[in-house]
A = this chain, B = another copy of it.
Amino acid sequence: MLARGLTETESEDELYSRQVVTFRRPIPSVVEGPLWETLMRIAQVAPPFESVPPTRYGGTERVVSLLTEELVRRGHEVTLFASGDSTTSARLVPTVDSALWRLDEVRDALPYWTITVGEAYRRARDGEFDIMHSHLDFQAFACAALSATPTVTTLHGRLDLTDLKRLYARFPEAGVISISDNQREPLPDARWLGTVYNAVDVDHLPFNPRGGEYLAYLGRISPEKGLDRAIRVAALAGMPLKVAARMPLMDTSNPVIRADWEYYEGAIKPLLKSGHVELIGEIGDAEKPELLGNALALLFPIDWPEPFGLVMPEAMACGTPVVARRRGSVPEVVTHGVTGLIGDTDEELAALCRAVHTIDRRVCRAEAVTRFSPSVMAAGYEKLYREARSGTPQGTGAGLRVWRDAIDPELTRTLTG
């Protein structure tokens, strides 16, 4: 199934596309006889807000789903603690009947976090697992300290709160995994085990070798995501902009939601009058390949320390380069000049948009596959699980970018060559 010659009807691009898509195929051999990995009984502990995978929004649940399915595929015995409407090939332990946002009468989310932690660690106490993988921020720390089964925690959010500084000072033993090196900055003294980049579903984000003429924006309408800047940059570049985003809710009781609404009314609506912006509303996974694959570039002009930014590798998987602001994880996820272009001011970003056609779309695809495939993410986590179980001492930098070790360098060369 790996490389084969061109058929008469196939372009080189199409062959290439097939090759990288099939890159993951050889790995099932670990099920029969693991090469570098011992099979483990793994608990994946997900938040209860959204199902795994999520219906639409929910970056954490999306990543947990990809990781869980890939670990199962690799032969591990995986138990997923998640809402009861989740779909998985692992064993599912429902923490609540359905995702919290679907339930009436949820006035306090905290009981469901407690249920989740309780269900997971009660089973750990009974010896059901070799490793606990928590996606609950710091919520499992107190139980983890009592449990004979080691716990690793992936931190999915931003960490620049004073409250968290105080928390981590009290849990120096809690082993945590970053989703970008940059994410660690506010908490340099936490016990960092490694960085494992999030994966995207490269199989369902097919390579589009040609792309198109417009810039794409995909994300929430909120000040930190910078839609206003995207509109201005596209105007300066003289390019059309397609915006896929849900309208903010007009909810006056939640200050965060109200801020998003005010941002839309005050900063976005006036800009929409110019003719170069097309608002296409909220889109699901099925519509992403069309929006992203047919774009000239993804515009990602954020104004906050984004800890990862899944939409960047999603675009890259489709072959679409990224024009982004130098904030948070951006310089790690996008390789400047290779898979995108990174700038700062509106004028810079506009110039980069005019230059972005020089980026090789095949390399974007290859980087997405090489660095952001579920198999690569799973290999990174397997390494950290193994180290946590063996009690390997971890320095702050020791586990950095574990994906680099976890994948076959020869394959990397072939793909990015």
A interface residues, Cβ below 8 angstroms from B: 96, 105-112, 114-115, 117-119, 121-122, 125, 138-139, 141-143, 145-147, 161-164, 166-167, 170-171, 253, 255, 258
> In the complex, which residues of chain B have a beta carbon less than 8 angstroms from the beta carbon of A117?
142
Interface pair B96/A114, CB less than 8 Å apart: no
Query: B142, B145, B161, B253: which contacts A107 (Cβ < 8 A)?
Result: B161
CA distance A141 to B139 in the complex (A): 13
Say whether, besides A115-B170, A141-B114, A141-B118, A105 and B146 are in contact (CB < 8 Å).
no
Complex: chain B residue closest to A173, CB-CB: B122
Whether B161 contacts A108 by the Cβ 8 Å rule is yes
Residues of B within 8 A of A105 (CB): 161-163
Taking a contact as CB atoms under 8 Å apart, the answer to whether A166 and B118 are in contact is no
Q: In this complex, which of A115, A119, A142, A170 has the most chain B Cβ atoms within 10 angstroms of its Cβ? A: A142
CA distance A107 to B164 in the complex (A): 10
Q: How far is the CA of A254 from the CA of B196 in the complex (A)?
A: 38
Which one of B118, B119, B143, B166 contacts A115 once the chains associate, using CB atoms below 8 Å?
Answer: B166
A274 to chain B, nearest CB (A): 33
Closest residue on chain B to residue A100 by CB atoms: B163
User: In the complex, what residues of B have CB within 8 A of residue A147's CB?
Assistant: 146
In the complex, how many angstroms separate the beta carbon of A378 from the nearest chain B beta carbon? 28
Most chain B CB within a 10 A radius of its CB, from A108, A146, A147: A146
Across-interface contacts of A164 in B (CB, < 8 A): 111
B170 to A145, Cβ gap below 8 A? Answer: no
Which residue from B108, B119, B139, B166 sits with its C-beta under 8 Å from A170?
A: B119
Contact present for B106 and A118 (CB under 8 Å) = no
Check if B121 sits within 8 Å of A166, measured CB to CB: no
Cβ of A157 to closest chain B Cβ, rounded Å: 11
Inter-subunit contact B106/A162 (CB<8 Å): yes
Query: Is A145 a contact partner of B167 (Cβ separation < 8 A)?
Result: no
For A139, the chain B residues whose CB sits under 8 A away are 110, 114
The 4 closest A-B pairs by CB, nearest first: A111-B167, A118-B142, A105-B162, A146-B146
Q: Is the CB of B163 within 8 A of A145?
A: no
Task: Tell me the minimal C-beta distance from A371 to chain B in angstroms.
Answer: 32
A125 in contact with B138 given A111-B166, A111-B167 (CB within 8 Å): no
Identify the interface centre among A106, A110, A125, A164: most chain B CB within 10 Å of its CB: A110
A114 lies within 8 A of B167 (CB): yes
Contact call A118/B145, Cβ cutoff below 8 A: yes
Complexed CA–CA distance, A118 and B141 (Å): 7
A107-B166 Cα distance, complex, nearest whole Å: 12
Beyond the given A96-B166, A121-B145, A146-B146, please list 13 additional residue pairs across the A-B interface where CB-CB is below 8 A: A106-B162, A107-B163, A108-B161, A110-B139, A111-B138, A114-B141, A114-B167, A115-B167, A115-B170, A117-B142, A118-B145, A121-B146, A146-B147
Chain B residues, CB < 8 A from A96: 166
Nearest B-chain residue to A148, judged by Cβ: B146
The interface residues of chain B lying within 8 Å CB-to-CB of A138 are 111, 114
Shortest distance in angstroms between A149's beta carbon and chain B's nearest beta carbon? Answer: 11
Closest to A171 in B: B118
Whole-angstrom distance between the alpha carbons of A50 and B170 in the complex? 20
- In the complex the two chains form, what is the Cα distance from A133 to B115 in whole Å? 20
Separation of A82 and B164 alpha carbons in the complex (Å): 18
How far, in angstroms, from A253 to B251 measured CA to CA in the complex? 11
A156 CB to closest chain B CB (Å) equals: 15
- CB-CB under 8 A from A161, the residues of chain B are 105, 107-108
Cα(A237)–Cα(B114), bound, Å = 49
Interface centre among A119, A164, A170 (most CB of B within 10 A): A170
Chain B residues closer than 8 Å to A167, beta-carbon distance: 111-112, 114-115
> Which chain B positions have C-beta within 8 A of A166?
96, 111-112, 115
Closest residue of chain B to A97 (Cβ to Cβ) is: B166
Cα distance, A258 to B125, chains bound together (Å): 45
A-B contact pairs, 6 of them (CB 8 A): A96-B166, A107-B163, A111-B163, A115-B166, A117-B142, A122-B146
